[in-house]
Structure 1
């Protein structure tokens, strides 16, 4: 198989390149040249955000079985690439997002849930949900529904993460001491290891899959408690997870999802949208998700290998709560109740 990856040097794109190379595929990476692609991939350079950014790709006479595109900004960049590659590539795989579903997304939403009004396929940048939907429309405009695959990924974690969610938790827990742990401890969460996402994408190319797929671990794959306890084990820190009621955290002005990454209070719109997705279609096609301990341990090994500071995309705000805010919440709760543990935790 011959694969072209637009990007391919950072988080998701890098994992796709690695998965394809692992199957013995011939992989070409088209990127800006700021990071090295995985060893074994061929490289073409260009900046899709510029007028002549696709010149190297246009001048190249290569043909591919599929292209994987992770673009997250103006949809017109997807449209330009898709039109250029229409006669030279069999299938267009666009890594989209579950953010394309209209808010609030109902619990258990599948691929037929209502969608946002996407930005026009030839439009400039708008906002993330509309841009991602616009990217989907651009891919289908050039390749049609039969030859386009829309990968609507949920929360993605794992090595090389450049958003900072799991690296923030690992770094915070590695410092040790009392840690503000957002309860309930047993609340189910959904994420997908970037390597499992990449393996599924490569397999979908082989199967010639098309249409939209929600891509995240099945409901109940793990819990918030299992995720943070895995962080404690991986780092070997003397951290003490102090499970705290959602109402206390929200009253302190800490934002779900961003202030305490991954977490959202159960029963709320954010929780239903990000942690209660229907992924039965992907599971039926062979989606396999590794244990949370493997994701956390491998991410910690990568993070320590690069010096402890994860790379971060410039278009995303840094996640995490400030140390002084965390300390203030822990102190306040302890002062009122004598404990920060959520109700019932001492019975475990």
Structure 2
């Protein structure tokens, strides 16, 4: 099978490339060559997807069985890729996000959920969710052939460039008393990038037009289990102090960013860990234990000097709480408990 991956060098894109190569696919990647090296074994085509001439050079004389668009976030740009690749591939897979769903994270959702408003020809600027929704429409309305829309939930795993699990692993590895948010028995819903990659390649090989929410099983780990797995993987003697949501919010701690993966238990986040994955599971999605993901991520991360680790992206912003702020909150919490 011949597969084109737009992106392919970072995190989920890298996992998709590795999975395709493992299956014996002929893999072409298309990227600027600035984020990370390509995986050995691919045909690497350099170019900027925002430049039509680069896309035209990519498609000249080439065709593929499947295209996987990993990082598209501007509908107008995705629509141009779709236009030039129509007729040159059997299936166009677009990696979207549950952020494209209008009622996430406030409600439990499945594939019938409504998308955000978002035009298929919208330019840059605006909120991430509506832009991803517009990209989905650009693919489904513009591609001549099968379309596969993948809406992942919270993704972890080796080579994570967002930095959520890497931040926790780094913090826990330092030891001492660690500020842990909310309740240790709060159920999460996490998925390894490698499991998404295997599912996507299965569906590309099967063909057909579909859309899937792709995440782990609901409650496949609690926050306490996640942090315990971090301690075990790193060999840390860290002790976790669990601090109430309200106490953290009163002190200005930002959910998702200062304490990654923390979503307070209130109506605004009622569906954050409540996505239905029944359709994807019935279609073959299989997920490894979260503890395995944690251990494998540390095996990758530990060889990167701490000063060179990345915690955050342009979209997410800098992740992690300032150590002085963490210490102040821990002291205040201890004092409040008498």
TM-score of the superposed pair, with normalisation by structure 1: 0.92
Partner of 1:300: 298
In 1, Cα distance between equivalents of 2:211 and 2:167:
31
Of the structure 1 ranges 258-267 and 235-244, higher mean CA displacement relative to structure 2 is found in 258-267
The equivalences for 1:100-249 within 5 A come to: 100-103=100-103, 105-143=105-143, 147-249=146-248
Unaligned runs of 5+ in 2: none
User: 1:133-181, CA deviations, whole angstroms, 9 ceiling, x for partnerless residues?
Assistant: 111011112226x711110011111111111111110111111110001
User: 1:223-266, CA deviations, whole angstroms, 9 ceiling, x for partnerless residues?
Assistant: 11111110011111121111111111111111211221112123
Q: Is the CA contact (8 Å cut-off) linking 1:79 and 1:121 kept in structure 2?
A: yes
Query: Is 1:89 the equivalent of 2:81?
Result: no
Misfit runs of 4+, over 6 Å: none
In 2, Cα distance between equivalents of 1:31 and 1:118:
25
3-state SS in 2 of match to 1:305: coil
3-state SS in 1 of match to 2:218: coil
The equivalences for 1:63-74 within 5 A come to: 63-74=63-74
The equivalences for 1:17-36 within 5 A come to: 17-34=17-34, 35-36=36-37
User: 1:257-287, CA deviations, whole angstroms, 9 ceiling, x for partnerless residues?
Assistant: 12211121234322x2321111111011111
Partner of 1:283: 281
TM-score of the superposed pair, with normalisation by structure 2: 0.94
User: 1:276-322, CA deviations, whole angstroms, 9 ceiling, x for partnerless residues?
Assistant: 11111101111111111111111111111232333453443111111
3-state SS in 2 of match to 1:256: coil
Query: Is 1:80 the equivalent of 2:48?
Result: no
Shift in Å, 1:323: 1.0
Of the structure 1 ranges 121-130 and 292-301, higher mean CA displacement relative to structure 2 is found in 121-130
Q: Among residues 271, 280, 296, which one is paired with 1:273 in the alignment?
A: 271
Q: Residues 33 and 105 of structure 1: is their aligned pair in 2 closer, same or farther, counting only changes over 3 Å?
A: closer
Shift in Å, 1:104: 5.1
Q: Is the CA contact (8 Å cut-off) linking 2:188 and 2:221 kept in structure 1?
A: yes
In 2, Cα distance between equivalents of 1:124 and 1:234:
40
Q: Is the CA contact (8 Å cut-off) linking 1:177 and 1:238 kept in structure 2?
A: yes
3-state SS in 2 of match to 1:52: helix
Superposed CA RMSD in Å reads 1.6
In 1, Cα distance between equivalents of 2:329 and 2:304:
32
In 2, Cα distance between equivalents of 1:224 and 1:236:
18
Q: Residues 148 and 173 of structure 1: is their aligned pair in 2 closer, same or farther, counting only changes over 3 Å?
A: same
Q: Residues 49 and 125 of structure 1: is their aligned pair in 2 closer, same or farther, counting only changes over 3 Å?
A: farther
3-state SS in 2 of match to 1:306: coil
In 2, Cα distance between equivalents of 1:126 and 1:58:
30
Shift in Å, 1:213: 0.7
Q: Is the CA contact (8 Å cut-off) linking 2:116 and 2:130 kept in structure 1?
A: yes
In 1, Cα distance between equivalents of 2:219 and 2:257:
22
Unaligned runs of 5+ in 1: 339-348
User: 1:101-141, CA deviations, whole angstroms, 9 ceiling, x for partnerless residues?
Assistant: 11454533111112210133353343211111111011112
In 1, Cα distance between equivalents of 2:124 and 2:59:
22
Q: Is the CA contact (8 Å cut-off) linking 2:155 and 2:190 kept in structure 1?
A: yes
Q: Residues 44 and 124 of structure 1: is their aligned pair in 2 closer, same or farther, counting only changes over 3 Å?
A: same
Q: Is the CA contact (8 Å cut-off) linking 2:233 and 2:298 kept in structure 1?
A: yes
Query: Is 1:56 the equivalent of 2:54?
Result: no
